[in-house]
Amino acid sequence: MTQKYTLEEQETFIHLSPIDHEIIYETSYQPHIKNILALHEASPDAFKSVETETNDEGLVISVIAIAANSKQYPMPINRFKRFLPRKKRDISPAQLESLKRLLNKNHSQN
């Protein structure tokens, strides 16, 4: 049994199934674990299932949760929205060159 995941090992996966209309959260990142467990406690019907892994001290170190109905309970995905990919930004060729120069300058300083 794992004592605790290191910062490098902590991650969150959000699986969106367009066929089943399911949202599956798999996380070992403590803030996300707390969000899922708090939502599950406040609205037990929000998830079809919640599986947890605990360490020897009883601390929850990972969670796999399946949202009950993504249309009825949009809250879980909203809590993770800032981690989802953003819309692709269109930039002009001049802006692109400016960014390249900035990155090269920062890279050459290290």
DSSP string covering 4-62, please? ---TTT--EEEEEETTTTEEEEEE--HHHHHHHHHHHHH-GGGEEEEEEEE-TTS-EEE
Tally of structural domains, the chain: 1
105 part of a folded domain: yes
Local structure of residue 72 (DSSP, 8 states): T
How many other C-beta atoms are found inside a 10 Å radius of the C-beta of residue 32? 21
- State which residues form the domain around 81: 12-109
5 part of a folded domain: no
76 part of a folded domain: yes
56 part of a folded domain: yes
86 part of a folded domain: yes
List the structure tokens of 85: 């990919």
Can you give the CATH number for the domain in which 87 is found?
3.30.70
Q: Are 54 and 60 in contact (CB under 8 A)?
A: yes
pLDDT tens by residue, the chain, 110 residues: 457 777 778 888 888 877 777 788 899 988 888 888 988 888 888 888 899 999 888 899 999 998 876 565 444 455 555 544 455 667 788 888 888 888 887 666 65
59 part of a folded domain: yes
